[in-house]
Structure 1
Amino acid sequence: MRLQMHAIHFDADPKLLAFIQKKLEKLETFYDRITSGEVFLRLDKSESSKIKNKILEVKINVPNAELFVKENATSFEEATDSAVEALKIQLKKYKAKRQGVENQTIRGVTNNGEVEEEIEIDEI
Structure 2
Amino acid sequence: MVMMISKMKIYIVGLFLFLVASKGLINEVDAAGECGKTPISSAAASLSPCLAAAKNGRAAVPPVCCSKVGALIKAAPKCLCAVLLSPLTKQAGINPAIAVSIPKRCNISKRPVGKKCGKYTLP
Question: TM-score with structure 1 length normalisation?
Answer: 0.28
Relative to its length, the structure with more helix (as a share) is 2
Larger Rg: 2
Higher strand fraction: Structure 1 or Structure 2? 1
Bigger relative contact order, structure 1 or 2 (CA pairs below 8 A, ≥6 apart): 2
